[in-house]
Amino acid sequence: MTESVPAGSGDATVLPLDVESPRPVTAGFVFLYAFAYAGVWLALLTPMLVTIALRVRELAPHNAAAVLALTLGLGAFFAMICNPVFGRLSDRTTSPFGRRRPWLVGGMLLGTASLAIVACAPDIPMLLLGWCLGQLAFNAVLAAIVAVLPDRVPAAQQGTVAGVLGMCMPIGQVGGTFLVQALPDSVLLRFLVPAGVGLVAVVLFAALLPERRLSRARVAGQPLASSWFDPFRHPDFLWAWLSRFLLVMGTAFLTTYQSYYLIDKLGYAVSKIPSLVFKGMLMQGVLIIISSLASGRASDVTGRRKAFVMSAAAIYATGLWSMAAAVDAKLYLVGMALTGIGQGVFFAVELALVTQILPDRERHAARDLGMFNIANTLPQVVAPALGPLILAASGGDYTWVFIVAGCSALLGSFAIAPLRTVR
């Protein structure tokens, strides 16, 4: 027996053994969902795009690139391990507040506190500790919030809603870079203001999220060891995972080395970097929003996903190669525009595609999406590790970093072709 849950209610009810199909969602629900999702990215990506790099340069000026690679790589390793674990724990949570809500609120609180540690760190070891705790916390939030899509959104609306969610990352990127360059010259404010905005957004969504409470009897029949599954039994899931991994590898090179690329390759002063990064992210973000909304809706109408995803990865690769060829900010901005189109289409449509091929959507949505999210986090370990090797082999030329990044993104286009259960 279950009670109906009014849209927007924060009440929790007991989840039945057989979860009924989600009901159509309202525009209000989608707005709150997008606001919260953008808030998470605002809190998490602002340090990755600007403030971590500048903070590392302040604490370790003589080997900043290597220390930044270590910092982001170690943080990404924590994210990679923790996301599926937190996803599985969220699937099994029997709290009176529901399955997802405790992880949303608790993760944002811990993440905000962790960024305060990074901002106030007197040395690199303390900065590493704060950043790893932050990755752990924010990935608990991501595991829970992404699972709301298969939890609450019916298949016929998933492309449209995924298109709306697809614009949330660029909104977080643009919003974060805007705040950094608009705020007073305070390290603490530049870390905590974006995190505070994200905290408010997620708490509001969590308070109004229609949640069901999972019964303890049902959890008792699901051993924790079932957190993992054999991906080779689900080849479409594996191919989609590989496509995401290769595309995100390209984005990881961009986010990791963008500031140093502008300084060392294009020759801009450190004081100009926040403004240039903001302009690039603004151009990229606007095009992500437009392409994400348009492609998500178009994929629902046509019932096709693969062609959108394959084309998007190829466009993203072209943008990275444009940056490799850049000699000034103009071609850099052209590259950012192309990556915006590619990223918007890719993440909007591929998220809808993935929700259709989840191995166990009803019982283990957060677990499976958490494992899929490894494709987002593993490149953040690999790219910072490969970057110094590429730079060493090329004599410090960032051109080759972006050439390799573009090749990886193009391979992501080819990887989606073998999928059989979606068109």
pLDDT for position 5: 37
* pLDDT tens-digit map of 73-120: 788 788 878 877 887 788 777 778 888 899 999 999 999 999 999 999
User: What dihedral angle (degrees, nearest 10) is formed by the CA atoms of 91, 93, 98, 101?
Assistant: -80
HSE at residue 257, side-chain half, CA atoms within 13 A, is 33
Residue pair 211/29 in contact by the 8 Å Cβ criterion: no
Residue 288's beta-bridge partner residues? none
33-47, 206-220, 370-384 — which one is most confidently predicted on average? 33-47
Vertex 354 angle, CA 349 and 360, to 5°: 155
Q: Which amino acid is at 217?
A: A
* pLDDT tens-digit map of 369-422: 767 777 877 887 788 788 889 988 988 888 999 999 999 999 988 888 887 766
pLDDT for position 404: 94
* pLDDT tens-digit map of 278-326: 888 888 888 988 888 888 778 777 777 788 888 899 999 999 999 998 8
pLDDT for position 220: 53
* pLDDT tens-digit map of 129-152: 999 999 999 989 998 898 888 788
Query: Is residue 21 scored above 80 in pLDDT?
Result: no
**Which residue, 290, 275, 343, 316, is CA-closest to 402?**
316
pLDDT for position 38: 93
Query: Is residue 240 scored above 80 in pLDDT?
Result: yes
pLDDT for position 213: 67
E strand or H helix at 343, and its extent? helix 329-356
pLDDT for position 406: 94
pLDDT for position 141: 93
Here the contacts of 337-340 (C-beta below 8 Å, separation 24 or greater) are 337/283, 337/284, 337/287, 339/251, 339/254, 339/284, 339/315, 340/170, 340/283, 340/284, 340/285, 340/286, 340/287, 340/288, 340/291
Distance CA 358, CA 367 (A): 10
pLDDT for position 25: 80
**Least confident window among 17-26, 36-45, 256-265:** 17-26
Banded model confidence at residue 3, pLDDT cuts 50, 70, 90: very low
Q: What is the mean pLDDT of residues 247-257?
A: 88
Who wins on pLDDT, 302 or 366? 302
pLDDT for position 48: 80
The domains of the chain, with CATH numbers, are 27-220+230-415 (1.20.1250.20)
Banded model confidence at residue 14, pLDDT cuts 50, 70, 90: very low
Q: Phi first, then psi: what are they for 108, rounded to 5°?
A: -70, -40
Distance CA 95, CA 98 (A): 5
**Which residue, 318, 354, 349, 348, is CA-closest to 336?**
318
pLDDT for position 420: 72
What is the pTM (predicted TM-score) of this model? 0.71
Who wins on pLDDT, 335 or 285? 335
* pLDDT tens-digit map of 164-208: 887 787 788 778 878 887 888 788 898 999 999 999 999 999 998
Query: Is residue 222 scored above 60 in pLDDT?
Result: no
